[in-house]
A and B are shown apart, each in its own frame.
Chain A
Amino acid sequence: MRRIGVFICHCGSNIAATVDCAKVAEAARGFPGVVYSADYKYMCSEPGQEFIKAAIAQEDLNAIVVASCTPRMHELTFRKTLANGGLNPYLFEMANLREQCSWVHTDKEKATVKAIDLVKMAAAKANKNEELTSSTMPVHKKALVIGAGIAGMQAALDIADAGHQVVLVEREPTIGGKMPMLDKTFPTMDCSACISTPKMVEVAQHPNIELLAYAEVTEVKGFIGSFTVQIRQKAKYVDHDKCTGCGLCETKCPSKVPNEYDLGLGQRACIYKPFAQAVPNKPVIDPLHCRKLVDNKCGLCAKVCPTGAVNYQDAERLFTDTFGAIVMATGYDLYPWEEIYGEYGYGRFPDVITGLQFERMVNASGPTGGKLKRPSDGQEPKSVVFIKCVGSREPAKAKGYCSRACCMYTAKHAHQVLDKIPDAAVYVFYMDVRAAGKAYDEFYEATLKDGAVYLRGRVSKIYQEGSKLIVKGEDSLLGRPVQVTADLVVLATAMIPSQGSRELAQTVGFLPDLDGWYQEAHPKLRPVETPTAGVFLAGACQGPKDIPDTVAQAGAAAAKVCGLLSKSQLETNPMTARSNPAICSGCGLCVAVCPYKAIQLISLADRDRYGKRINRTVADVNHGLCQGCGACTVTCRSGAIDLQGFKNNQILEEVDALWR
């Protein structure tokens, strides 16, 4: 017989303000199996936990109900309390009086009635709870990092420096992501490439990092400690073992296409490295534009290659590896403003560019050699208009969120224009200036002193008049329309999750949020974890971020991975399915529904009712593979398969209790 102790938490006033905790505790004493109940200010606090432990000893309790916050918050905390108090941790049950009662109701009387019901259900379930024990499973001491921008590189380096093996997968031909595309970084104005390219080299040379550029993750199976991942290495058409990276092929290639790395502002060959400091510093062939691959003409690069590294027959390769942990670092893309901003010309005007194109242009190693030029005629712009929040904070049209980095990079761009073209006029149309960061607001103030004119208001229209752009907007501080004649317009477009990131999340097995950003497990307390154990988040894939925040988060994700990989064994979740062979008929319906292939039909030696030896087919659950979803339990006609911790009789007991 269970001797249940019920503990009602006030959570300060969070629960007590709306629920009469003493009354709930009193009511609990009348529930079947309950021998003790009490209410207390903070159950999760150290004294609160001591209180429970003392009650276990004094009252000889063998099951505990805590009625406090959501089990997603403190179930683990109290299970540990039980263990410390000498009870099996699974003899614990929780009633959610905060998130699902006191916080969502206002009528104290009705909320108290509901709270009593919730405790009653929890006590009923506790009455049926059983001791469960975990087994262990091995941890593969190797991490997978997906995406090799600054977030992925930092996470990979931090994990590798701690002595663990890392495989770093990047879908582009070079690692580095967006950071090396930038010219200078706010607020210190240090050269972006000077601090990011050494990191790229460090990644490539690190003995613990295996770099897979131009590759994608195609399939993920398994679970924390043991993810089996299939990776597709795209065809490079260049044997990187033979290639010396001399670059001769690039200079001889006769086909030129717009360079993605310069966002169409420059050109590249069809056998190419995205940029000079690319890592790996060896080219790949663009199969969509190479004349040899498209219509079997040319073949010049193979002829000029001194080491015979060009291989037009190259094909993609699939291979599989096993990892203990996965770090998602897939970064961001920019909102395709051309698709929705008719008022800015739908991309018809060549001199309306994005902030990232501005970065390439102002970058000394970019397509214009660092000279600011109008894309239309190559002239130096004397009047530059910046428009912030293009696609951000615009829920009616694009995204409701703030992209966080734009206020600062626009201030930096304004500063750079005034620095390079001292007689230029710079106008910034803004909604707010959000410069919350170390030395950020000071930077913005300095840009104002440089002479940038900040106009608070939105731009309603851009159109071309002769070679000039006319920018019409509103100065909402003066309350009147303004019109600016500009040579160049730079749009601070919204950050959006990188292309394909939603599909990748599904492949790995977790959910993005409504905007497509990767959802952290808890917005405050678990910011770098996903709800899927063993999968962590670094950088802008979780939400718009600037470089300092990205690097900080990558370090945090790495620390979590190192913590996981420092163990050689993980305790398994004992709340898995069990099949009772005595009543299993071997129909196999459970086998078909199991998403983890955790159930097998096995042959069991048995005797029939005449005592004759027979072999019966029965279902058998692999507890390492089973994740405890319970889909199988519903299929079982004989009720042979049940889920530990959520057994049929436990749930039915909760239902029954509500009307008892």
Chain B
Amino acid sequence: MKYAYYPGCSLDATGIEYDIANKLVARTLGIELVEIPDWNCCGATSAHTTNHLLALALPARNLAIAEAHGFEQVAVPCAACFARCKKTAAAVQASPDLQVQISEVIGMTYAAKSEILSYLDVIGKKTGLDHIKKHVVQPLTGLKIAAYYGCLLVRPVDITQSDDPENPMVMDRLLQVIGAEPIAWDYKTECCGASQVVPVPQLGKKLIHDILKNAASYGADAIATACPLCMLNLDMRQKQINAMFGTQFHIPVFHFTELMALSFGYSAQDFGLAKHFESAESLLERMIGGKGA
């Protein structure tokens, strides 16, 4: 399978290990990811709070380039980029007038014909679970993991086409295939606070705290995400949360593709596990005899 790949800004910076793991997994599974040439920022949350047309035009440019190169499917690993791309495609499909307007702004035709998929859906829905299973050489047996989806991958459901906005299962099934034990927990789709953690820390950190607390209450060894910002909030801020709430959380957080890469036999040095704030060393030691670390 061949996909246009839109890494987005995060995967060039704070989420670089996500990008590396995505590519390792793709290589193993025989998925060809072709990075969209000359891509630009999707505008994220900033654009659509300032200028609606710009918020649609920014993703439209990337998608139009992909279309111009003949791609029928675009894989988007970041949840925020995914939401913006999906929203743009839906808006353009709904209004021929808007399509004309957008095409004028970006200086090329955007037909909104290509299918936009989150990288989680590329792996979890478009690539057969049986196919994935064949590549598992190091099953993550005994790893109790909380699959965390956040908001933007699932809501609004008519845009995202999530399997179930209240209880999505696509990541859970994937983690099951690589031998881990996904837990049934309650904060799968609660918001991590996203960028609100910076301007309104009391609110944002409470949201992160509640997610960590719920995962811990179900005995999760680790949390898996499919979004670089969720990852950042849940991983980097645990220390701040502990200071603020007097808790003792030390829950390793992974991008789901990192766990897949481990199960495919890659070592932690192959991707950026060392970039995580919460150490996964002892967990990996226990789980796969330190082979990962």
Residues of A that sit less than 8 Å from B by CB: 341-343, 346, 348, 461, 463-466, 470
Q: Considering the complex, which residues of chain B in the window 205-219 have a beta carbon less than 8 Å from any beta carbon of chain A?
A: 214, 217
In the assembled complex, B12 has its CB within 8 A of some CB on chain A: no
The reply to whether A465 and B214 form a contact with Cβ atoms under 8 Å apart is: yes
Give 15 A-B contacts (CB < 8 Å), ordered by A residue.
Answer: A341-B166, A342-B164, A342-B165, A342-B167, A346-B166, A346-B167, A348-B184, A461-B186, A463-B186, A463-B214, A464-B186, A465-B214, A465-B217, A466-B217, A470-B186
Q: Which residues does chain A contribute within 8 Å of B166, judged by CB atoms?
A: 341-343, 346
Shortest Cβ gap from B169 to chain A (Å): 11
Main SS of chain B's interface residues? loop
* Alpha-carbon separation in the docked complex, A342 to B214 (Å): 17
* Alpha-carbon separation in the docked complex, A465 to B214 (Å): 8
Q: Which residue of A lies closest to B158 (CB)?
A: A396
* Alpha-carbon separation in the docked complex, A465 to B165 (Å): 21
Q: Which residues does chain B contribute within 8 Å of A346, judged by CB atoms?
A: 166-167
Shortest Cβ gap from B195 to chain A (Å): 19
Shortest Cβ gap from B170 to chain A (Å): 14
Q: Which residues does chain B contribute within 8 Å of A341, judged by CB atoms?
A: 166
* Alpha-carbon separation in the docked complex, A348 to B218 (Å): 15
* Alpha-carbon separation in the docked complex, A343 to B187 (Å): 10
Q: Which residues does chain B contribute within 8 Å of A343, judged by CB atoms?
A: 166
Q: Which residues does chain B contribute within 8 Å of A461, judged by CB atoms?
A: 186, 190
Residues of B that sit less than 8 Å from A by CB: 164-167, 184, 186-187, 190, 214, 217
* Alpha-carbon separation in the docked complex, A463 to B184 (Å): 11
Q: Which residues does chain A contribute within 8 Å of B187, judged by CB atoms?
A: 463
Using A342-B165, A342-B166, A466-B217 as known contacts, list a sample of 9 further A-B pairs with CB atoms less than 8 Å apart, ordered by residue number in A: A342-B164, A342-B167, A346-B167, A348-B184, A461-B186, A461-B190, A463-B187, A463-B214, A464-B186
Q: Which residues does chain A contribute within 8 Å of B217, judged by CB atoms?
A: 465-466
Q: Which residues does chain A contribute within 8 Å of B164, judged by CB atoms?
A: 342
Q: Which residue of B lies closest to A342 (CB)?
A: B166
* Alpha-carbon separation in the docked complex, A656 to B190 (Å): 68
Q: Which residue of B lies closest to A470 (CB)?
A: B186
Residue among B164, B186, B214 having the largest count of chain A Cβ atoms under 10 Å: B186
Q: Which residues does chain B contribute within 8 Å of A348, judged by CB atoms?
A: 184
Shortest Cβ gap from A523 to chain B (Å): 33
Q: Which residue of B lies closest to A463 (CB)?
A: B186
Shortest Cβ gap from B162 to chain A (Å): 11
Q: Which residue of B lies closest to A340 (CB)?
A: B166
Shortest Cβ gap from A72 to chain B (Å): 39
* Alpha-carbon separation in the docked complex, A177 to B187 (Å): 40
* Alpha-carbon separation in the docked complex, A346 to B168 (Å): 13
Q: Which residue of B lies closest to A349 (CB)?
A: B186
Q: Which residues does chain B contribute within 8 Å of A466, judged by CB atoms?
A: 217
Q: Which residue of A lies closest to B165 (CB)?
A: A342
Q: Which residues does chain A contribute within 8 Å of B190, judged by CB atoms?
A: 461
* Alpha-carbon separation in the docked complex, A559 to B290 (Å): 84
Shortest Cβ gap from B193 to chain A (Å): 14
Shortest Cβ gap from A567 to chain B (Å): 56
* Alpha-carbon separation in the docked complex, A348 to B184 (Å): 10
